[in-house]
Amino acid sequence: MILPGTEPRVKLEVAALTDRGLRRAVNEDALFAADPCFIVADGMGGHDQGAAASRAAISAFSEAFTAPREATMQQIEAALDEAKRRVQAISERSERGAGCTLTGAIRIEHQGQPHWYVLNVGDSRVYLQRGGRLQQLTTDHSLQSELFAEGDSQAASTPRNIITRALGSTDDEHDAWLLPVEAGSRLLVCSDGLSSEISDVEIETVLAEGGEPAMLTAELVRRTLAAGGRDNISVIVLEVVSGGVAAQASESAGEDAEWATLEITRPGSR
């Protein structure tokens, strides 16, 4: 029995899937997908050290968020600090070092309304789908991405896998954004094993086809494996079924107004 006034303000449907891929002997990805926290970590370090690093980072969040209620900023900051501490300890014990990316979305309350706290360090990604459009919310912390941003002609020939920030490295600073939770929207959280194999256009096509999150995660992984599956693959798809704030754009408002509103809700890096 649910008492009046205690019904959750946001109803989500969520599915998560991780796969070793076709080329790697070990799955160095780890994920956690339980309201209010949805995150992916991609380990680096070779042998089992990358896997240990990603599991350590994820464990800090799975231990911090054990009930489906809105998180607080204090909880998030504490989990981040603990994740960084655990991964750094593994890196210091490893001859080659170890680390991981950390990317995801955590449901919080901001100014009395449910929001996503989107965080990122590394090159795993968070995408938003709403109104039939897909947008990458996070910015890759990679040398290639930084060279593209600078307009450097060497960017296209620079390998994607040179990471400039990661837990366990000298620069483990994360970026963060606030985004209103909107009914009918979807978030996709994924490791670069997905985004390096299939394009954003193909990701958008899959998500636009609709269906339950479990079907979408399975199809995204299937297509990634068909494209080569050269890396570990981790995917979380979550759909806001009801609750949150009303969609801020209508067909008459046009696409520019919709995405301008989104940008206002993103206060920038921490």
Residue 217 or residue 209, greater confidence:
217
Q: Which of 7-11, 146-150, 249-253 has the highest mean pLDDT?
A: 7-11
- Report the alpha-carbon distance of residue 43 to residue 28 in Å, rounded: 5
The whole-number pLDDT of residue 70 equals 94
Residue 54 or residue 4, greater confidence:
54
Checking if the pLDDT of 177 tops 50, the result is yes
The whole-number pLDDT of residue 152 equals 53
pLDDT digits (tens, 9 = 90+) for 154-173: 645 555 666 789 999 988 99
For the chain, the residue count is: 270
pTM score, whole prediction? 0.87
Mean pLDDT value across the chain: 85
Mean pLDDT over residues 7-20, rounded? 89
Which residues partner with 31 through β-bridges?
A: 40
Mean pLDDT over residues 202-229, rounded? 96
Of 53-57, 68-72, 258-262, where does mean pLDDT reach its minimum? 258-262
Class at the top of the CATH hierarchy for domain 10-264: alpha beta
Do residues 234 and 190 touch, judged by C-beta distance below 8 A? yes
Hey, what are 101's tokens?
Answer: 């990316």
Do residues 30 and 99 touch, judged by C-beta distance below 8 A? no
Checking if the pLDDT of 4 tops 50, the result is no
The whole-number pLDDT of residue 38 equals 98
The whole-number pLDDT of residue 153 equals 57
Mean pLDDT over residues 106-113, rounded? 93
- Which parts of 22-170 fold into alpha helices (H)? 49-64, 73-93, 143-150
Both ends of the chain: CA-CA distance in Å? 41
